[in-house]
Structure formats: C-alpha cells, structure tokens
C-alpha cells in the first residue's frame, strides 16, 4: 500500500515563500501569510536573488521553533495514518487505476500556500492547518497526482494545458462526494471553478464512472 512520508525542510519551504510572493494567487490571499518585512525584500526579485534572504530568515525560525514544527508534523502524520489505507483504496476504485507510486512526500510549509511537484511526488501542508484540514489537503494533492499521471496527456491534446488545470482543480469536488466522511472537512475549490465543480458533481451522481466523467468534462470545457 502506498505511503505518505512527512518531512521538514526549510529550503523547500523557502521556495514556497518566494512562490507565494511572486506567483499567481488564483484569487486567494496567500501572500499575507509571509511577513511584510520579508515580502518587501523579495517581491519582484528572482529566486536566485531572493533565496539567501529567505534561507537566513527560515534557518533562524526553524532553529528557534524546530520542536514545535516537528510536533505539528507528527500530528499530521498520525492523523493521516487513520485514513491512509482507506483513502488510497477509494482513489483506486474511483479512478479505476492503481496508485502509481509507493511513496509520496509531504513537506511542512510555514505559509498558507501549498504547492506540489507531481514529477517528484511531493506536496506541502501548511502549519496553519488543523490535523483534519491537513488530511483534506493531502487527499486533494494526491488526487491531482493521479490525474496528472494517467490522464494529463490525453486531456491536454484535446483542450490544452490551461483547461486541463481548471479541470484538475475542479475535480477535487469529488472529495466531497466520496471522501468527506474520512476527514469531515469540505474541499471548497476556487471561485473561478464553481460552475465546473457543480457540473462534475451532477454528472458523478448520475453515473459514477470516472472515464465517462472525464469525457463529459472535456466536452463541457471544449465548448
């Protein structure tokens, strides 16, 4: 059965600080979770020019708060273990595909934005999350990974990369349909995807066939 490993890495967190300040925010105000003083130093600057500034800030922060950060990460790990086997079992059943990797890595981030890298199999969970909301985030990211691995190329050929990313985010509404009993928390999604998420929920309730759902979504987005 696949596993999620939980790790601390201030340099990985630093990359997220830079991305939080300098990347598109999808209408979510993540940037306020970065201190104003640090924001001023790295806003509009390249990662190369910013990284040592962020490294210095976070190295001190992690040194001072390391025990607390490890405690929170261990809490996330213990709560996730309650759901891990059942989550992966359901994800395989719903997508009709095996989980493609044996291990994934969850890094703690001390800001609110939670990016991921599907090629390297890692994602981030925020210090500001409760244990249950962290599990919801983990489920959200792992569903992305499954879609990237098995469906991305075919979907992109039909509707392009931008619409694939819209679909990838909107499909996490299925967490509310099939997984909500595990961690209670609801996956809210982005405001820009409300119509697509509603379409997905309606189609899924009519017929719980993931391949057919993808086809219907592609048709919907191709209009």
Over the stretch 107-138, which tens digit does the pLDDT of each residue have? 999 999 999 999 999 999 999 999 999 999 99
Asked whether 111 and 21 are in contact (CB, 8 A), the reply is no
Q: Give me the number of domains the chain comprises.
A: 1
* 131 HSE (CA, 13 A, CB side): 14
Question: Residue 99: CB partners within 8 Å, gap ≥ 6?
Answer: 2, 88, 91, 92, 146
In whole angstroms, give the CA distance from residue 106 to residue 113: 13
Position with higher pLDDT, 7 vs 189:
7
Q: 27 pLDDT exceeds 70?
A: no
Question: Residue 140: CB partners within 8 Å, gap ≥ 6?
Answer: 172, 175, 187
Burial of 152 (0-12, 13-18, 19+ CB in 10 A): middle
Q: 100 pLDDT exceeds 90?
A: yes
pLDDT score, position 1: 86
pTM of the model: 0.92
Burial of 175 (0-12, 13-18, 19+ CB in 10 A): buried
pLDDT score, position 28: 67
Q: 26 pLDDT exceeds 70?
A: no
Q: Provide the domain limits for residue 103.
A: 3-222
Instruction: Return the minimum-mean-pLDDT range out of 13-17, 187-191, 216-220.
Output: 187-191
pLDDT score, position 25: 65
Residue 9's nearest CA partner among 110, 155, 119 is: 110
């Amino acid at each position: 059965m696949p596993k999620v490993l939980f790790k601390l890495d201030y340099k990985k967190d630093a990359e997220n600080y830079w991305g939080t300040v300098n990347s598109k925010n999808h209408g979510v105000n993540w940037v306020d979770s970065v201190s104003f003083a640090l924001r001023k130093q790295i806003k509009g600057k390249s990662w190369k020019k910013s990284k040592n500034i962020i490294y210095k800030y976070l190295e001190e922060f992690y040194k001072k708060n390391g025990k607390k950060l490890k405690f929170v990460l261990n809490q996330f790990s213990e709560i996730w273990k309650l759901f891990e086997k059942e989550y992966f079992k359901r994800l395989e059943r719903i997508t009709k595909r095996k989980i493609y990797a044996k291990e994934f890595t969850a890094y703690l981030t001390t800001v609110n934005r939670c990016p991921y890298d599907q090629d390297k199999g890692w994602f981030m969970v925020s210090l500001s999350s409760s244990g249950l909301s962290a599990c919801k985030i983990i489920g959200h990211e792992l569903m992305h990974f499954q879609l990237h691995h098995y469906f991305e190329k075919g979907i992109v050929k039909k509707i392009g990369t931008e619409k694939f990313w819209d679909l990838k985010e909107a499909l996490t509404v299925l967490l509310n349909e099939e997984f909500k009993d595990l961690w209670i928390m609801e996956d809210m999604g982005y405001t820009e995807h409300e119509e697509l998420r509603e379409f997905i929920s309606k189609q899924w309730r009519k017929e719980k066939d993931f391949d057919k759902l993808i086809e219907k979504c592609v048709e919907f987005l191709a209009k």
